[in-house]
Structure formats: C-alpha cells, structure tokens
Chains A and B, each alone.
Chain A
Amino acid sequence: MTSTHPTAQTLDIIKLNVRLANGRRLLRDVSLTLKPGEVRALVGESGAGKSMIGKAVLGILPNNLDISEGEIILEGAHLNAMTPSTRRKTVAKMSSLIPQDPLTALNPVRKIGPQITDPLIRIHGWSADRAMKRARDLLDRVHIRAPERVMASYPHELSGGMRQRILIAAAFAPSPRLIVADEPTTALDVTVQKQILKLIRELQRETGTAVLFVTHDMGVVAKISQQVTVLFAGRVMEDAPTQQVFEAPSHPYTQALIKATPTLNAVTKSFSPVPAELIAELHSDIAKIDAAYDAGDRA
C-alpha cells in the first residue's frame, strides 16, 4: 500500500478544502507535496490556515469542520477514504506532532518516561526494553543530562526548553516518515528558540524525516526549510524553493511578507507592515474565487 503509489511522496495534499458547517471555506483548494526527507515551511499570518493543514493531516481538527473535499495521501495511503479508526492508526504509525506549547503538551500527572514509551509499546508494538532504550538514547541525543532521572520526573519539575526537547525526542522516537511541527518555537524565549530549531534540523537530517514546519516567522523559514508554501486566507499564494522565495519572491504578498520581517542589523529601516491596499486587493480576489466556487458547487 505504501510503495504502490506512483508519486512516491511522503505527503501529497490535493485540492484540500476545509469548511465550516455553514459552508464557509477556511482552506481553499490547498495543494502541496512533501518529498521524503524534505522540510517544507508553511507561512502566513494568523488565521491564514497554516496550522489547519497540519491538523487536517493528523486528523485533529474540531468535529464541526468538514474536510471531506480533497485528498490527503500519506505515504501512498488515502487518508480521507479511511474509517476513523484505521485513519488514526495509519497516521500514528507514520507521523508525529511537535506541538506549539511544551507547557501544556505533557500530562501533568504522569511521569515523563511512560509518556514517551507508552505509544511505542502500545501503538507500535515494541517491547518495553526496546522502548526504554530508545527513549534514553533520544533524550541523550536532545542534550538532556541524566535521562534516567528526567524520565522519572513529572513535567512540572522541568523547564519549558527541556520539555520541548522531550517532546521533540518523543516525536522522533517511533521513526516517523513525517513530522508536523506546529510553531514549535513560538512559546519559547529567543535563546531557547535557536537551540530548539537547531535540534529539529539536526535530527531531521540524521533521520531523513520529512517535516511540515508551521511558522509565522520568515527568519525561521530561512533557517530550516527547503520549500516554502505561503498562505493567505486559506489559499496558497506562492509555492517555491526557499532560496527563490527570499531572492526573487514572485507573489506581491510574499514580497510584502519578507519586507515586513525585521532583521537584527537594521530593525527600524527595514521594517514595514504589509500594505493595507494589498490585503484588501487579496481579499477581493478571494471573494471572487469563492463566488465562482459556490456557483460551481450549486451546478
């Protein structure tokens, strides 16, 4: 099932629409691919739908959203054609999530060790010894001193940066084909952000895992990704290699977004918000597209 798909992509999203119960679209015909071992950044302002794409793949969108339109193909498996329980198991076997807020993503009443090893044992069918060894090795790899002690600790005994490193270790533990990183550095302070970013990039290279990296920070995009998908109002504005996006952005919104990114050496000079006229123009485009879509829907 995994090897028969002709495109051999890790992730293939084709014309995905996410809709509210009243029919309003939150994602509009989003298509993107992720090759094995590739890092793709999803950028856009808040509400652009960048997190929603990751959540749609992992199957953790709220129940009131309809994602039946479009295809999500993970390692050749058509997720939208599956029963909820098969989908859940398939996704769990092949992908992991690095969550946004490390302070709320660990269960406060359970020790760290079982929170890493539980899925390995109960979902991936590993032996307890193998899972323990894997957890120890990975905690060591993410520079956690005394992994044994940390595994016997509760989350409240550890710092935010440590917890995020633990969550990264947990995400890589089952050797997934795909990792969705949902703004994994947003909740951390700047010095820790850099370490975390470096860690994800190193582990990604070592393991060859494809990463869908959700962020609003163009600086982070430049550091981590090979491909960029720029989103606005649930629509793909630009899809190009990272270098090209920074050197010669083709879409006016991408150009504005890069201009709006403050740089360290010239904060005041280079900083300029995305122009309101451009935003208004883009919204009116979207309205036209939606009108055409609705007309087609009715026909």
Chain B
Amino acid sequence: MLAKTILIRLLSTAVTLFGVAVVVFTLIRVAPGNPISMMLPPGATQEDIANLNALYGFDKSLPEQFVIWLGGVLHGDFGTSITLRRPVSELVLGRLPATLELSVMALTIAVALGGFVAVIGARKRGTATEVGLDLTSGAVLSIPDFLWGLVFVLLFGVLWPILSISGRIDPRIDFDFTTNFYLIEGVLRGRFDVVGSTLSHMLMPAMSLALPLAAMIAQLLKQNLKEVLVQDYTTLARVRGFSETSVILREALRNAALPTIALIGVQFTFLIGGTVIVERLFAYEGLGNMAIDAVINRDLPLVQGIVLLFAALFTVINLLVDLSYTFLNPRLRNG
C-alpha cells in the first residue's frame, strides 16, 4: 500500500519537474536581456557575438536547446554556469546545505514557538491572556519576513550588537569543513566555536523566516485544540484526574495537529521561497542568494538548476507531509 503510494508520488513528481523545467527554460529565454551581451566588452563585433552564441548553443532554436539541455540533465549534467564557469550541479549542491540548515532551523523555531503559544492559548482559553496572544500573533503575522529581518538587524545588529548580521560563519575561524553543513558538522565534531559562530549568523535570518509561520501555527493549532478540548474523551481524562495541561498535551494535541501539519507543509515551501530575499539581506551564502545573482547575470543554466532543485525540494516536502498524516491518524493506515 505504502509502496504503491510512494510510486505514484514519484511518477507525479517526475511530471511536475518536467513541467517546471519547460516553463523555466522558456521564460528566462523569452525575458529581455541575454547573457552574451553581458559577457562581451562594449564594441564587440557581430562576429564575436555570433561565435559566443554558437559556443553556448544560443544560435539553435528553443526546442533544440531544450532537448540538448534535458538530455544532459537526464545524465546528471546540468550544464556549466556562464558567470562562474563551474558545473551547475557542483555549485548548486554546494549551496544547498546552507539553505537547508537555515530553513530547517527556521521551521524548528516556528513549530516550537507556534506550538508553545497555541498550548498556552488553549490552556488560558476564554481569558485576557488568550485575547492578548491572539492580538500579538495577528500583528506578527502581518509583518513579512524581510521586514522582520530589518527589525532584527536594527535590534541585535545595531542597538544591541550581539549577533552577526552578515555571512554564514566568522571567516577567522580555522576549521576544515568536509561538508557544507556547517552547523551539523560543528556539532558532530564537538567544535563549539564553530557552532556558536554559525548560530550567531543563522539566528536572525531564521527568526525572520520563522515568525510569520509561528504566528500562523499558533492561531490554527489553538483553534483546533479548543475544538478537541470539548470532546468526550477529554472530559473523561479530566474526571480521571489529569490536569488541563496534561489533557492538552496527551489527549488533545495529536488530534488537533492534523490541520496544522497540512499548513506547515504548504507554508514550509513558502518559507524556503522566502530564503531568497532573507539570505540576500543577511549576505548568507545559500541557494537563494546565488539565485538572485544568477538572475541578475542572466546565468541561464544556473537559474534552471536552482529552480529545478527548489521544485524537487518542494515535492519531497509534500510527500513527507502526506506520510506524516498516516503516522498521526491511525484511521488512515488500513484505508
């Protein structure tokens, strides 16, 4: 059953990725501006332009270019970056760990913070505390991630400078990374200076990405908790002597979590989309930052590679969310 589900998902993923590839490939070629004109010095001859066009294959028709590119992709060759002159796959996979660490950290903060506020709100339902939490999360939600980034830079970078506002790690740290997962590697190898510096750089962008999502989780989860907390089995748990907090955590939370999991699945992809701007803001060396450079420089192969990777990431996340339903709800298991 599970194997069949996964197989179907993999097939639909392939179709999705193909669609994304077609759209991106076409769009960035139709959009004005071309990489060749940015590579050549002013006053280049028509012949130079034609030569360079031929070198990168831009003289062929669009469908031809697409087939050539797709053929490469199927063999694991995503082309070569025009501006950086290195294989796209190497560049993209080199940056992926940075963005993964950042977005997973943001997601963890959002779930922890949002979940905590939701439980407190449900515990204090019908009181002024609940109203206060509702108003606060409403306000937090209405401020977008990049604006939170600026607020944090002002607070913890300027007024009370305790966090690093730029980059991914302090360049003075002497550490030979074998992977690009700086935080995980720092933890595994017990280098707390590395962990500290990575966190100091990661905390503000992660918080900026996390806050709006945390507010959404807080509101939705609290609402669902309140609906579950009038069910008979929670009443029975109270009669059996469990405290309200214990009833919320042990009886209600898993029943109330399903809509929130769905929300997190959808919003996590938005959060990863948000890394593009937030990484730029904090000069964080991730995929998003690279994507902006690639678009500005019309580095077509690199843009295609990054977008395809993002698309693949989104479908994997959606698959994980669907699988988590089955884990949380026993009624779906033998369906």
Contact = CB atoms under 8 A, between A and B. Distances in A.
B232 interface: yes
Size range of the chain A interface in the assembly = 20 to 34
Contact of A123 (B242, B250, B254): B242
B331 A156 contact: yes
Given A156-B330, A156-B331, A105 B236 contact: yes
Interface in B308-335: 328-331
A92 B235 contact: no
B172 interface: no
Contacts of A154: 330-331
Contact of B242 (A63, A95, A108, A119): A119
The winner among A59, A63, A110 for most chain B CB atoms within 10 A is: A110
Interface stretch (A1-9, A83-91, A207-215, A237-245): A83-91
Contacts of A95: 239
Interface in A27-67: 58-60, 63
The winner among A58, A88, A91, A93 for most chain B CB atoms within 10 A is: A88
B251 A119 contact: no
B203 to A, nearest CB: 35
A60 B242 CA distance: 12
Contacts of B331: 108, 154, 156
Contacts of B231: 104
A95 B238 CA distance: 12
A92 B241 CA distance: 5
Contacts of A59: 238-239
Interface string A172-209: 00000000000000000000000000000000000000
Given A108-B330, A156-B330, A123 B232 contact: no
Contact of B239 (A92, A100, A101, A104): A92
Contacts of B236: 97, 99, 105
B240 interface: yes
A92 B243 CA distance: 11
B255 interface: yes
Interface in B211-235: 231-233, 235
Nearest to A122: B242
Contacts of A118: 240, 250
B126 interface: yes
Interface in A97-113: 97, 99-101, 104-110
Contacts of A105: 232-233, 236
A97 B239 contact: yes
B235 A60 contact: yes
B241 A119 contact: yes
Contacts of B329: 109
A229 interface: no
A17 interface: no
A60 B236 CA distance: 9
Contacts of B239: 58-60, 91-92, 95-97
Contacts of A96: 239-240
Interface string B249-291: 0110011000000000000000000000000000000000000
A113 B232 CA distance: 18
Interface in A116-165: 118-119, 122-123, 154, 156
A63 B238 contact: no
A183 to B, nearest CB: 12
B142 to A, nearest CB: 32
B232 A104 contact: yes
Given A97-B239, A109-B254, 14 more contacts: A58-B239, A60-B238, A85-B243, A96-B240, A97-B236, A105-B236, A107-B233, A107-B237, A108-B233, A108-B255, A109-B329, A110-B251, A119-B241, A156-B330
18 contacts: A59-B239, A60-B235, A85-B243, A88-B241, A89-B241, A96-B239, A97-B239, A106-B233, A107-B237, A108-B330, A108-B331, A109-B254, A109-B255, A109-B329, A118-B250, A119-B242, A123-B241, A154-B331
